[in-house]
A and B are shown apart, each in its own frame.
Chain A
Amino acid sequence: MQELLDKNPGRKILLGNEAICRGALESGVQFVSTYPGTPASEIGNIFFDLTRERNGKGLYFEFSTNEKVAMEAGMGASFSGLKTLIAMKNFGLNVCIDSLLPFVYAGTKGPTVIIVADDPSCHSSAQSEENTRPIAFLAHIPILEPSDPQECKDFVKLGFKISEQFKIPIIIRTTTRVAHQKMPVVLDKMERSNEKIVGRFVKNPRQFITLPPRVLEMKKELLEKIVKIKSFSEKSSLNKIEKSSGPYKIGIITSGISYLYTKEALAEFNVSFPVLKLGFFYPLPELKIKKFIKGLKKVLIVEELEPFLEQEVERLAKESNCKLEVIGKKMITEIGEMRPEFVFSAVAKLSGEKYSQPKNTLQISIPKRLPQLCPGCPYWSVISAVKKAVNPEEVIFGGEIGCYMLFGNPPVNMQDYLFCMGSSMGIGHGIKKATGQKLIAFIGDSSFFHSGIPALINTVFNKSNPLIIILNNETTAMTGHQPHPVSVGSDTGIKIENIVRACGVKNAKTIDPTTNQEEMIETIKDFLSKDDVSVIIANHPCKFVAKK
């Protein structure tokens, strides 16, 4: 991490996420807020360590309680003139869209870059293989897409400049293979201030109050900004055409990680189709694209996940080259991450080269190694108590995202539904209302603060009686042990049981399941027979944060 603070220029091997942090530091970032989520988690971890060391001088950082709050904190900082970075994984953006849309209308005061990390192939995500791109169409927010760590750093710096010039927040969209890619990155000189950061909020209802009729004017102003940014995008070197040496009638349009696989494929077959590499996903440099496709017979769109770019190119081709054959998802799958061999195969087909995917067959089957709760994890005691207290066949188990989603794997097998953070109670309430079947909903402590509380209040308000077990392991474990409001060492004075009681829950108990197995078992039995909602707070720290 010290490498990220090196004031002098040089070359260092950096992870994509480290390069993002370096880019922000070189830009003089003043305010950073985030909620953890892989593949974006290292960004928060790095700033957490940096600011802890420097005691808040020169830079403010926080892990917010969820992404919406992180976004709003960042909005407040930007409105007060600070240079702001907000980071999250793709699902986090869903949580804060409500704030994001009016934020883009209002625009920034302090330049603001929002990092959103997608995870094609769901290497470290459950839920869905979400593609962040269409948020651009919904929110009219510019999106830049780096291919490698060097670009991560450069695009963050440029992102701040664009944001400053056009007074608009910018999204930088990474994917797992970009965020968790390493390469030598050129570091520029960096000045770091030791001053305490002080911004100033200057009242300006025209910018900060999004009421009609003004809000429609703001929309008009936003669309005008986008037109200007589009002409910036037309001229930007981020969207670059790499000309071919031969008389090819076939071209390739690509971006992000797919660009690297495209380069590899062209080198492999020694063909030099012209390539248009897009650094902007939105607004697209439409004139540049039209110019690029003009003389072509075919264009291959090397695009990961859904064909958003392909559709745009098809639309533009109607205006500039209606005979053009646009090839995308016909050749490259829209499920799972892009892989170099997919591009090899497509490039080979188009260039008439031979390529057959090598197939090695193994006589033995590769054993599947599923992740497991760590040995010594306090959750094992929760599992054993539940198994002793109830017949698992007769109870529905609601799961969620966190280490405890591993309850679904054998030999535990205690998970009958699993969706997103904060959902186990809400869905459990619906099942209870619909069926009356016995139900236990699990939720982690970080998830409880993230988005659990409204659902808990709903069970009281609308009177259902699930048993909720809040797994208070005093950390956000799954994403790398980030702090939260009641994590180890916290000075908030908040107690989950007090919150639960204040929500109107009468049956509530805090139990350490590792030392009080009997009490845990008896309470589960007792609470499951109640007519109103009940909550057990199973309190024991994760073994990685427990004080030794």
Chain B
Amino acid sequence: MMVTGTGGQGLITILQIISEAAMIEGYDIKTSELHGLSQRGGSVEVYIRFGKKVYSPLIPQGKADLIMGLEAQEALKGVYFANPKTTFLINENIIPIPLKKPLTKNEISNSLKKISKNVFMIPAKEICREKLGTEVVAGTYLLSWAVFKKIIPLEALSVLKALKKVIPPKHLELNIKTFELAKE
């Protein structure tokens, strides 16, 4: 699977949670992330692969099972890795780019639907703000949602264990709440 977003959205935390959960379940794992310039608010992509045997940390073109977009426009970057069976799971959140007219939710979901039928646009940012009072956990929400909907083939319990391992104590309670919220 691939996660796209912008610098500072916590993509690497998501990568860690999924890989720790996959390790608990005994899968082979390879991931790839980028550091450096991407952290200054530019586009970021990370790749997570788990299964019986994984060789490459990069997803070959057209071979992604799941593309998770923490920012809706950035989700389009996943198209290179998509095929008609790929699931797109997208936070409806749009972070505008200075001096550019942002794309709309509909433009994004309509064009993705031409590639795959499985496009889920989720107002994760709004849900988290309304129910938890903060939107920083939108990534955890999407991830948990995908686990409960069986889009990510990992047990909820393993993901919960991974959360406890990866998230620092002071943010843990909030993240567990987010996880529970996604169950509903």
Contacts and interface: CB of A to CB of B under 8 A. Distances in A.
A184 B23 contact: yes
30 contacts: A11-B23, A13-B23, A15-B33, A38-B36, A42-B35, A123-B38, A148-B30, A177-B58, A182-B30, A183-B30, A183-B57, A261-B58, A339-B61, A340-B56, A340-B61, A341-B61, A341-B62, A358-B83, A360-B79, A360-B80, A362-B79, A362-B111, A363-B114, A367-B73, A369-B6, A369-B41, A371-B7, A371-B41, A372-B40, A480-B35
6 nearest A-B pairs in the assembled complex, by CB-CB distance: A124-B36, A358-B62, A371-B42, A371-B40, A38-B36, A340-B60
A6 B38 CA distance: 31
A268 to B, nearest CB: 8
Contacts of B61: 339-341, 357-358
Nearest to B102: A367
Contact of B33 (A182, A268, A357): A182
Contact of B34 (A124, A360, A366): A124
Contacts of A123: 34, 36-38
Interface string B32-58: 111111111111000000000101111
Interface of B: 6-7, 15-16, 19-20, 23, 28-43, 53, 55-62, 73-74, 76-77, 79-80, 82-83, 97-100, 102-103, 107-108, 110-111, 114-115
A371 B110 CA distance: 27
B60 A264 contact: yes
B35 A38 contact: yes
Interface in A357-410: 357-358, 360, 362-364, 366-374, 403, 406, 410
Contacts of A272: none
Interface in A250-299: 260-261, 263-264, 267-268
Contacts of B40: 371-374, 403, 406
A41 B82 CA distance: 32
A373 B29 CA distance: 34
Contacts of A42: 35
Contacts of B114: 363
Given A371-B41, A373-B40, A374-B40, A364 B107 contact: yes
Contacts of B58: 177, 261, 339-340
A207 interface: no
B15 A362 contact: no
B29 A13 contact: yes
Nearest to A375: B41
B103 to A, nearest CB: 6
B103 A364 contact: yes
Contact of A479 (B31, B36, B38): B36
Given A177-B58, A260-B56, 18 more contacts: A13-B23, A15-B33, A124-B36, A124-B38, A182-B30, A182-B31, A260-B55, A267-B53, A268-B60, A339-B58, A340-B56, A340-B59, A340-B61, A360-B82, A363-B110, A366-B76, A369-B43, A410-B98
A341 B81 CA distance: 11
Contacts of A371: 7, 37-42
A180 interface: yes
A367 B59 CA distance: 22
Contacts, number: 146
A176 interface: yes
Contacts of A182: 15, 19, 29-33, 57
Contacts of B97: 367-370
A362 B116 CA distance: 12
B33 A180 contact: yes
A370 B41 CA distance: 8
Given A182-B19, A339-B61, A340-B60, A39 B79 contact: no
Interface centre among A184, A369, A403 (most CB of B within 10 A): A369
A263 B62 CA distance: 18
A181 interface: yes
A403 B41 CA distance: 12
A45 to B, nearest CB: 10
A360 B115 contact: yes
A155 interface: no
Contacts of A373: 40
Interface centre among B56, B102, B107 (most CB of A within 10 A): B56
Interface centre among A268, A341, A368, A411 (most CB of B within 10 A): A341
Contacts of A410: 98-99
Interface in A38-72: 38-39, 41-42
A344 interface: yes
B98 A411 contact: yes
B29 A411 contact: no
Given A358-B83, A362-B76, A41 B35 contact: yes
Contacts of B36: 38-39, 41, 123-125, 478-479
Contacts of A261: 55-56, 58
Nearest to B30: A183
A182 to B, nearest CB: 4
A124 B98 CA distance: 22
Interface in A137-178: 148, 176-177
B6 A177 contact: no
A183 B38 contact: no
Given A182-B31, A367-B73, A263 B103 contact: no
Given A181-B32, A411-B98, A367 B7 contact: no
Nearest to A124: B36
Contacts of A268: 60
A372 to B, nearest CB: 5
Contacts of B34: 123-124, 176, 180
Nearest to B75: A366
Interface centre among B30, B60, B76 (most CB of A within 10 A): B60
Contacts of A177: 32, 57-58
Nearest to B34: A123
A328 B29 CA distance: 29
B75 to A, nearest CB: 10
A366 B107 CA distance: 11
Interface string A1-44: 00000000001010100000000000000000000001101100
Nearest to B6: A369
A479 B37 CA distance: 8
Nearest to B166: A13
Contacts of A364: 76, 103, 107-108, 111
B73 A366 contact: yes
